[in-house]
Structure 1
Amino acid sequence: MTAEARIIRTLTLRLIPFLILLYLVAFIDRSAVGFAKLHMNADIGLSDLAYGFGAGLFFIGYFIFEVPSNLLLERFGARRWFARILITWGLITVGMAFVTGPYSFYVMRFLLGAAEAGFFPGVLYYITRWYPVRHRGKVLGFFILSQPIALMVTGPLSGALLGMDGIAGLHGWQWLFIVIGLPAVALAWPTLRILPDTPKDAAWLAEADRNWLLGELNKDRKEYGQTEHTNPLKALTDRRVLLLALLYLPSTLSTYGLGLWLPTLVHQFGGSDLTTGFISAIPYVFGIIGLLLVPRSSDRLNDRYGHLTCLYILGSAGLFLSAWLGSPVLQLAALCMTAFSLFSVTAIFWVLPGRFLTGASAAAGIALINSFGNLGGYIGPFGIGALKEYTGTLSSGLYFLSAVMISGVLLTYIVYRKLEKKTPAPQGVVIEQAS
C-alpha cells in the first residue's frame, strides 16, 4: 500500500463512518413523514395537496437558513455546529408527534428544515478540507451511501413503529416521530468528542502525514485556480456557483419528489404497512450499488459530465417506465433503475464545486448550491401532490419527474460548455479583493 493510499484510508476510516451515521439519522428524520402520511392524514385532516405542501416546506426552511448556517460552521467549527444541528432537529422531530392539523404540520416541517439547514452542505465543505480533489468522488459516494441506507431502514422501521398504534394512548405515527427523533439528540455529545475540525486538529494523524495532506490540498488550489473571495458572500454571485445550483435542481426535485411519495405508490400494490415498508426499501439497494460503482468509475476516468449525462437519461427512463407499465413487478424494477441513477448523480455532482472554490467561499458557495437545489425538495413533493389531486393518479407526477430528469441532460451540456470549454484557469489561489 502506498503512503497516499494509507493516509486516505486512515482519513476515511476515522471520519466517514461516523458522518454516515449522522446523515443516516438526518435522512430518516426528514423522510419518515412519507410513512407517517399513511395514517396521519386521516387523523389530523390532511389532504394530499396539503401533505405535499407541508412536506415541501421543510426545504423552504432549509433554503432560507442554509447559507448563514454554513458560514457559522466556518466560524465555530464543524464539531460544535454539527452538535447544535443534531440537538435542534432531533427535538423538532419529536415535536412532529404532536401536530394537530395542517397549520401545525406546516410550521413543524418548516422549523425542521431550518434546524437541519447546513448539515449536508456542511459535511460536503468539511470533506473539501480533508481530501484532495482526485479522491472526493469515491469518498462522497461512501458518504452519500447514508441516503439509500436510511431509506432502506426507514421503510421496515416505520412499518413496525406504525404497528405501535394505541400504546400509551398514542397513534403509531406519533411513536414513529418520537423514536426516530431521539437518536439525533443522543449523538450530539459523541460528535463533540469524535470529530476534529481540520487536519491540524487530528491527534491521530502523524505529523508527516498531516504535512503531506496539507501540501496536496495546496496543490489542488494551484492546479484548479480555486477562488477564495475576500468577502465569502461574493461567492453567492459567482457565475460558476449559480450554474452549478441550476444543474443540481433536477436531481433533488426528482429524489425528494419520488422519495416522499414512494410509500404511497408502493401501498397501492396492496399489502400491510410492514410489507409496504420492506418493498419500499428494495429500490434503495440499487441506489447503494450505484454509489459503490459509478463514483469509482468517474474518479478513474476523471469524467464527471459524461457520467452525469448517462445517469440523467437512465433516471428519466426509469421514472417514465414506472408510470407507463401496469405490472407492480415491472414498476418496481423501473424504480430500482431510477434509484441507481439518482443517488449516483448526487455523488458525482458534488465533486464539481470544490474544484472552483476554497475556504469560506467554498462554505458559502456549497451552501447556496445545495439550498437552491433543495428548492426541488419543495417543488417535487408539492408538484406530485397537486398533479395527483388534479388527475387522481400518481402516474402524472412520475411523468413530470421524468421530464425534469431529461432537462438535467440539457443543463449538464450547458454547464460543461460554460465551465470547462474555456481557457485554462490561472495558476495559484485566486484571492478576490473586496470592491
Structure 2
Amino acid sequence: MSPEMRLIRLITLKLIPFLILLYLVAYIDRSAVGFAKLHMGADVGIGDAAYGLGAGLFFIGYFLFEVPSNLFLQRFGARRWFARILITWGLITMGMAFIQGPTSFYVMRFLLGVAEAGFFPGVLYYITQWYPVRHRGKILGLFILSQPIAMMVTGPLSGALLGMDGMLGLHGWQWLFLMIGTPAVLLAWPTLAFLPDGPAQVAWLSKDEKRWLTSELDKDVQAFGQTSHGNPLHALKDKRVLLLALFYLPVTLSIYGLGLWLPTLVHQFGGSDLTTGFVSAIPYIFGIIGLLIMPRSSDRLNDRYGHLAVLYALGAVGFFCSASLTAPVLQLAALSLAAFSLFSCTAIFWTLPGRFFSGASAAAAIALINSVGNLGGYIGPFGIGALKAYTGTLASGLYFLTAVLCIGLLMTWFVYNRLERKLTMKAYSQA
C-alpha cells in the first residue's frame, strides 16, 4: 500500500465511523415519523395530507437555517457546533412524543429541521478539509452508508418500540420518539471530547503528513479552479451553486418521498408492525450495495455525470415498475432498484461542489445546495400525501417520483454542458 493510501485509510478510520454513527442517529430521528404515523394519526387526528405537510415542514426549517448553521460551523469549529446540533435535535425529537394534534405536529417538525440544519452539509464541508478531490467519491459513499443503514435499523426498531403501546400509560409511537431522541443527546459529550476541528489539531498525523495533505488540497484549488470568495456569502449568488442545487432536488425529493411513505406502502402488503419494519428494511440493503459499488466506480473511472445519468434512469424505472406492478414481491424488487440508484446518486453528486469551491465559500455553497435541494424533502412527502388523498392510491405518488427522476436525467446533460465539459475533457487528457 502506498504512503498516500495508508494516510487516507488512517484518516478514514479515525473520523468516518464516528461520523457515520452521528448521521445514523440523525437519520433515524428524522425518518421514524413514517412508522409513528401508522398509529399516531388515529390517536391525535392527523390524516394523510396533514402528515405529508408536517413531514415536509422539517425541510422548511432546514432550508431557512442551513446556510447560517454552516457559517457558524466555520466560526466555532466542528466539534462544538456538531455537539450543539446533537443536543437540540435530540430534545426536540423526544418532545415529539407529546404532540396533541396537527398544529403541534407542524411546529415540532419545523423546529426539528431548524435544530438539525447544518449537520449533513457541515459534515460534507468537514470532509473537504481532510480529503483531496480524487478520494471523495468513495469516502462520501462510506459516510452516506448511514442513510440506508438508518432506514434498515429504523424499521425493526420502530416496530419493536410501537409494540410498547400502553406501558406507563404511553402510546407506542410516544415511546418511539422518546427512545430515538435520547442517543443524540448522549452523543454530544463524545463529540466535544474526541472529534477534531481539523487536521492541524490532531496528534495522530505527523508534520510531514499534515504538510502533504495541505499541499494536495492546494493542488485541487489550482487544478479545478476552485473559488474562495472574500465574503463567503457571495457564494450564494454564484450561478453554479443555484444550478447544482436544482440538480440535487430530484434526488432528495425522491429519497424522502420513498422513505417517509415506504412504511405505509409495505403495511398495505399485510402483516404486523414488526413485519412491516423488517420488510421495509429490504430496499435499503440494496441502497448499501449501491453505495459500496457506484461511488468507487465513479472515482476509478473519473466519471461523475455518466454514472449519475445511469442512476437517474434506473431510479425512474424502479418507481415506475413499483407503481404499475401489483404483486408485493415485484413491487418490493422495484423499490429496491430505486433505493440502489438514489443513495448512489447522493454520494456521487456531493463530489461536485468541492470541485468548484474551497474554504468558507465551500461551506456556504454546500449549505445552500443542500438547503435548496432538501426542499424536495418537503415537496416529496407533501406531494405524495396530496396525490394519495386525491386518488386514493399511492401509485399516483410513485408515478410522480418517476417523472421527477426523468427531469433529473435531463438535467444531467444540461449541468455537464454548462459547468464541466471542458474541465472533464482536460482531466481525461491528463489521466
Place the TM-score, normalised by the shorter chain, in its bin.
over 0.9
The one-letter code of the counterpart of 1:369 is: I
127-136 vs 413-422, which deviates more? 413-422
Match of 1:248 in 2: 248
Match of 2:134 in 1: 134
Match of 1:44 in 2: 44
Supply the distance in 1 between the matched residues of 2:298 and 2:423 (Cα, whole angstroms).
23
The one-letter code of the counterpart of 1:116 is: E
Q: Check the 8 A contact 1:388/1:396 in 2, yes or no.
A: yes
* CA shift digits 1:258-303 (9 cap, x unpaired): 1000000000000000000000000000000000000000000000
For the pair 1:378 / 2:393, whether they are aligned, the reply is no
Supply the distance in 2 between the matched residues of 1:262 and 1:25 (Cα, whole angstroms).
19
Supply the distance in 1 between the matched residues of 2:220 and 2:197 (Cα, whole angstroms).
20
SS state of the match for residue 84, structure 1? helix
Supply the distance in 1 between the matched residues of 2:413 and 2:234 (Cα, whole angstroms).
26
SS state of the match for residue 227, structure 1? coil
For the pair 1:345 / 2:345, whether they are aligned, the reply is yes
Supply the distance in 2 between the matched residues of 1:208 and 1:156 (Cα, whole angstroms).
47
85-94 vs 206-215, which deviates more? 206-215
* CA shift digits 1:340-371 (9 cap, x unpaired): 00000000000000000000000000000000
SS state of the match for residue 383, structure 2? helix
For the pair 1:282 / 2:282, whether they are aligned, the reply is yes
Match of 1:261 in 2: 261
The one-letter code of the counterpart of 1:110 is: F
The one-letter code of the counterpart of 1:57 is: L
Residues 12 and 238 of structure 1, relative CA distance in 2, 3 Å threshold: same
For the pair 1:414 / 2:430, whether they are aligned, the reply is no
What is the count of residue pairs matched by the alignment? 426
Structure 2 unmatched ranges of 5 or more: 427-431
Supply the distance in 2 between the matched residues of 1:423 and 1:177 (Cα, whole angstroms).
47
Match of 1:102 in 2: 102
Supply the distance in 2 between the matched residues of 1:202 and 1:78 (Cα, whole angstroms).
13
For the pair 1:331 / 2:339, whether they are aligned, the reply is no
SS state of the match for residue 420, structure 1? helix
* CA shift digits 1:40-73 (9 cap, x unpaired): 0000001100000000000000000000000000
For the pair 1:209 / 2:215, whether they are aligned, the reply is no
Scaled by the length of structure 1, what TM-score is found? Answer: 0.97
SS state of the match for residue 228, structure 2? strand
1:293-372 alignment to 2 at 5 Å? 293-372=293-372
Residues 226 and 326 of structure 1, relative CA distance in 2, 3 Å threshold: same
Residues 6 and 277 of structure 1, relative CA distance in 2, 3 Å threshold: same
SS state of the match for residue 319, structure 2? helix
Match of 2:429 in 1: none
* CA shift digits 1:105-149 (9 cap, x unpaired): 000000000000000000000000000000000000000000000
Supply the distance in 2 between the matched residues of 1:225 and 1:389 (Cα, whole angstroms).
49
Shift of 1:422: 4.3
SS state of the match for residue 203, structure 2? coil
Supply the distance in 2 between the matched residues of 1:190 and 1:125 (Cα, whole angstroms).
20
* CA shift digits 1:356-409 (9 cap, x unpaired): 000000000000000000000000000000000000000000000000001001
Shift of 1:207: 1.4
The one-letter code of the counterpart of 1:237 is: K
* CA shift digits 1:182-221 (9 cap, x unpaired): 0000000000111111110111111111111111111111
Shift of 1:229: 0.3
The one-letter code of the counterpart of 1:368 is: L
Supply the distance in 2 between the matched residues of 1:81 and 1:377 (Cα, whole angstroms).
23
For the pair 1:23 / 2:49, whether they are aligned, the reply is no
The one-letter code of the counterpart of 1:5 is: M
SS state of the match for residue 196, structure 2? coil
Coordinate RMSD, CA, aligned: 1.1
Match of 1:398 in 2: 398
Q: Check the 8 A contact 2:224/2:423 in 1, yes or no.
A: no
* CA shift digits 1:51-105 (9 cap, x unpaired): 0000000000000000000000000001100000000000000000000000000
Kindly, what percent of the aligned residue pairs are identical?
Answer: 77
The one-letter code of the counterpart of 2:224 is: Y
Supply the distance in 1 between the matched residues of 2:422 and 2:238 (Cα, whole angstroms).
16
Residues 27 and 424 of structure 1, relative CA distance in 2, 3 Å threshold: closer
Q: Check the 8 A contact 1:74/1:363 in 2, yes or no.
A: yes
Scaled by the length of structure 2, what TM-score is found? Answer: 0.98
Structure 1 runs (4+) deviating above 3 angstroms are 422-426
Shift of 1:421: 2.7
1:62-81 alignment to 2 at 5 Å? 62-81=62-81
196-205 vs 258-267, which deviates more? 196-205
For the pair 1:197 / 2:197, whether they are aligned, the reply is yes
Supply the distance in 1 between the matched residues of 2:202 and 2:398 (Cα, whole angstroms).
46
Supply the distance in 1 between the matched residues of 2:179 and 2:163 (Cα, whole angstroms).
13
